[in-house]
């Protein structure tokens, strides 16, 4: 994000007496980190009022980012809330904020900050950067341009945003600048060990057992280059694990040597299957997701397939098609 874009956002938001901060429904680590970092700046350093309202329940692994329950669901807010401006993080389309959209009055200025490749430019101000590895990078730039004091709270939230949306610095979107930003956040108090422990290494027993079941029934396709994980609703209920707690399970598909495309297919209704996609190197799973009305990033995307679980598996396999073997290149030799 440029200095001019940051100043333009600041000029628009400065007129607001109360600000609504939101993101796509069922927010992930990037969107939560961005919201919490901006809230800390806006309420503590600018000493102005704001509310964070998200459609969906905060997953257990991200509760460490909101220990004081600042994030609220739309059901706890008044219809047509008293907000003079709205800032939306990491959302390609306004419809994706879910029930929060009904709380926004007509004519209220909306600042849209996003790094997805396809964005509908729904904001009064649209700041888009598909080269950013995480929306957290854009917020980092904005706060720096505005001369914000980078305290340990803001640093921790932005580090969480970058850590999670780069797949722990694994995705191709990770750049030298990503690591330079993260190093600066560590200097200002971010604790990557604590974040990694809380987000990735603290599964409850039942969730661990469910993961064991799902991984034990992995389907290998395309000569071991594609891995599908599936979960029907009956099994999920038997283990008692909410759907929201399963974010990240798809990442395990890429732990297998040779796998280039991984997918987690979850039954969410009789004729609806939620799909999370991951890939390595140059394979663009966002293009696959778009065939079903979804989207995302090159190596991490998602969609909803209007079909029962078994049929969704077949449709997705057809959409992925044959996968070539990766050409191995030894780096540094």
What's the pLDDT tens digit per position in 186-232? 999 999 999 999 999 999 999 999 999 999 999 999 999 999 999 99
For the segment 288-332, what is each residue's pLDDT rounded down to a tens digit? Answer: 999 999 888 888 899 999 999 999 999 999 999 988 766 655 556
pTM of the model: 0.87
Assigned superfamily of 3-200:
inorganic pyrophosphatase (n-terminal core) (3.90.1640.10)
Strand, coil or helix: what is 2?
coil
| Bridge partners (DSSP) listed for residue 174 | none
Whole-Å CA distances, 108 to 76, 81, 84, 111: 20, 11, 6, 10
Query: What's the average model confidence in pLDDT over 160-170?
Result: 94
- Given a contact cutoff of 8 angstroms between Cβ atoms, the answer to whether 18 and 82 are in contact is yes
What is the domain partition of the chain in residue ranges? 3-200, 205-320
CATH number of 205-320: 3.10.310.30
Residue 89 has pLDDT above 60, yes or no: yes
Rounded to whole angstroms, the Cα distance separating 309 from 290 reads 19
Instruction: Report, as an integer, the average pLDDT of 66-74.
Output: 94
Segment of 24-33, 55-64, 77-86, 179-188 carrying the highest mean pLDDT: 179-188
Q: Is 162 a residue whose pLDDT tops 60?
A: yes
pLDDT at 322: 87
- The phi, psi pair for 66, rounded to 5°, reads -135, 65
Distance CA 5, CA 27 (A): 24
Question: For residue 194, how many other CB atoms are within 10 A of its CB?
Answer: 13
- Per-residue pLDDT, 221: 93
């Amino acid at each position: 994000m440029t200095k001019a874009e940051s100043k333009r956002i600041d000029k628009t938001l400065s007129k607001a007496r109360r600000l609504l901060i939101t993101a796509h429904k069922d927010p992930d680590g990037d969107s939560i980190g961005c919201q919490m970092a901006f809230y800390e700046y806006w309420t503590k350093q600018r000493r102005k009022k704001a509310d964070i309202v998200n459609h969906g329940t905060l997953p257990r692994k991200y509760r460490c980012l909101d220990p004081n329950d600042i994030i609220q669901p739309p059901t706890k807010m008044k219809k047509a809330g008293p907000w003079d401006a709205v800032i939306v993080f990491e959302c390609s389309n306004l419809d994706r904020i879910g029930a929060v959209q009904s709380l926004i009055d007509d004519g209220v200025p909306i600042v849209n900050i996003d790094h997805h490749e396809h964005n509908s430019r729904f904001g009064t101000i649209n700041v888009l950067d598909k080269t950013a590895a995480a929306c957290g990078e854009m917020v980092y730039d904005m706060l720096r341009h505005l001369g914000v004091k980078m305290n340990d709270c803001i640093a921790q939230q932005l580090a969480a945003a970058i850590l999670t949306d780069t797949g722990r610095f694994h995705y191709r979107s990770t750049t030298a600048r990503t690591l330079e930003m993260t190093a600066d956040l560590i200097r200002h108090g971010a604790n990557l060990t604590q974040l990694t422990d809380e987000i990735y290494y603290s599964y409850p027993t039942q969730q661990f057992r469910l993961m064991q079941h799902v991984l034990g029934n992995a389907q290998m396709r395309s000569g071991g280059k594609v891995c599908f994980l599936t979960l029907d609703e009956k099994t999920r209920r038997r283990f008692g694990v909410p759907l929201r707690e399963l974010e990240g399970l798809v990442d395990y598909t890429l732990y297998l040597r040779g796998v280039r495309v991984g997918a987690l297919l979850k039954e969410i209704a009789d004729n609806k299957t939620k799909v999370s996609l991951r890939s390595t190197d140059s394979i663009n799973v966002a293009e696959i997701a778009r065939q079903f009305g979804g989207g995302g990033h090159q190596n991490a995307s998602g969609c909803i397939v209007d079909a029962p679980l078994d049929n969704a598996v077949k449709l997705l396999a057809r959409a992925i098609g044959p996968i070539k073997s990766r050409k191995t290149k030894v780096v540094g030799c």
